[in-house]
């Protein structure tokens, strides 16, 4: 005799005030599907539910869970015996509800707990992604490397086999009502073990957020095959490494590094910063902004700035800037970064001349953990 089919959890995203939609049903993405239609379809697959539950009941329960940020667990009678409705909110970094998950079926019955999920918030002003401590429960994140905020460059650096960077940056840096995306990413771990996340994003520009709310679902499966980088990506990265090339995507208007196209420049501290703009000296940032018009017109240009290094000082670095092809916002540039050779400047060596703020500039404990080599992330993306 065949076992009874496992009823899937339905994940309803609540990322923007214009309304919510279905992000996923079980392991299947729904790409902002109409939640009422999915609800009716799920009820139709379990006819007994109609004896004690209707769409209005579930709708009210979902709204209660969202508005009060609480779990709900309700048992009700049907002609086929007792049934159960469970609703579990997914919280963001400040305790906001970024999604709710619901399940309805026989009680008792085969219920598989939903995989881990968290909400995150992209704040455009700080250019950081705020994430709750619960993100450490997702596959691919070690508790020792958790920090409350990361840059988008750090997020991209963790993922592999991903080619929608420009779309993501377009949405994050120009948040407009209705802007949304859903995609999946892999993160390589030792021995080729892959972890998979499904990410749903909605842009926001309101009193709660100027940026975007995220929903991150862990969809890692033991059945997933090992993921290895392509021969092309390995070859290109190795060629750049041997040639000493360091290429990055730079947000000129926002004076930050958005993504490394090659291995990061080893003399630049770009990660574990409280503010991504601190990668460049405060007195040099305006020069990057001024070059925006030239790059947007299709020209290439060159500028030498001071880049933060891992000793807390600054290293003179030349950026050869090229237009980023096909980017709708036209705020991005491809930068070829070169460390200035010759005489070592006092700014690079003299601790008294670091020109750093009195407060710490980043998450130094986590940075030391990474630099010690205990995190073995692959550098091939």
pTM of the model as a whole? 0.88
Q: Which two tokens stand for residue 207?
A: 């009193």
Contact between 131 and 148 (Cβ < 8 Å): yes
Task: Find the helix or strand (DSSP H, E) in which 172 lies.
Answer: helix 165-173
Task: Give the model confidence (pLDDT) of 340-364 as tens digits.
Answer: 985 444 344 434 334 445 556 899 8
Task: Give the model confidence (pLDDT) of 8-34 as tens digits.
Answer: 899 999 999 888 899 999 889 999 999
Task: Give the model confidence (pLDDT) of 114-146 as tens digits.
Answer: 889 999 999 999 999 999 999 988 887 878 889
Task: Give the model confidence (pLDDT) of 260-281 as tens digits.
Answer: 999 999 999 999 999 999 999 9
Give the number of other Cβ atoms within 10 Å of residue 322's Cβ: 15
Q: Can you name the residues that pair with 33 across neighbouring β-strands?
A: 22
What does DSSP say about strands 81-91 and 72-78: parallel, antiparallel, or unpaired?
Answer: antiparallel
């Amino acid at each position: 005799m065949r076992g009874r089919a496992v009823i899937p959890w339905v994940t309803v995203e609540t990322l923007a005030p214009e309304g919510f939609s279905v992000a996923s049903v079980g392991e299947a993405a729904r790409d902002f599907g109409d939640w009422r239609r999915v609800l009716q379809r799920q009820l139709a697959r379990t006819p007994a539910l109609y004896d004690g539950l209707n769409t209005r009941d579930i709708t009210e329960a979902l709204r209660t869970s969202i508005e009060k940020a609480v779990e709900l667990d309700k048992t009700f009678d049907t002609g086929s015996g007792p049934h159960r409705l469970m609703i579990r909110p997914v919280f963001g970094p400040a305790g906001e509800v970024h999604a709710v998950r619901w399940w309805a079926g026989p009680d008792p019955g085969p219920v598989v707990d939903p995989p881990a999920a968290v909400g995150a918030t992209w704040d455009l002003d700080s250019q950081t992604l705020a994430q709750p401590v619960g993100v450490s429960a997702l596959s691919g994140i070690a508790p020792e490397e958790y920090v409350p905020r990361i840059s988008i460059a750090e997020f991209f650096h963790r993922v592999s086999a991903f080619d929608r960077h420009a779309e993501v940056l377009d949405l994050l840096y120009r948040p407009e009502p209705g802007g949304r995306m859903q995609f999946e990413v892999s993160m390589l771990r030792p021995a080729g073990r892959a972890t998979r996340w499904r990410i749903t994003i909605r842009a926001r520009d309101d009193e709660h957020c100027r940026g975007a709310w995220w929903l991150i679902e862990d969809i890692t499966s033991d059945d997933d095959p090992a993921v290895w980088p392509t021969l092309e990506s390995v070859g290109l990265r190795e060629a750049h490494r041997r040639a000493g090339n360091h290429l990055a995507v730079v947000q000129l208007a926002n004076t930050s590094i958005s993504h490394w196209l090659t291995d990061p420049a080893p003399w630049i501290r770009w990660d574990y910063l409280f503010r991504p703009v601190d990668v460049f000296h405060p007195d040099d940032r305006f020069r990057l902004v001024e070059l925006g018009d030239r790059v947007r017109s299709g020209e290439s240009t060159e500028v030498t700035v001071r880049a933060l290094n891992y000793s807390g000082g600054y290293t003179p670095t030349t950026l050869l800037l090229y237009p980023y092809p096909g980017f709708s916002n036209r705020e991005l540039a491809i930068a070829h970064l070169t460390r200035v050779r010759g005489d070592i400047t006092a700014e690079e060596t003299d601790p008294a001349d670091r020109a750093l703020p009195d407060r710490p500039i980043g998450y130094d404990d986590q940075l030391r953990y990474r630099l010690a080599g205990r995190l073995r992330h692959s550098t091939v993306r």
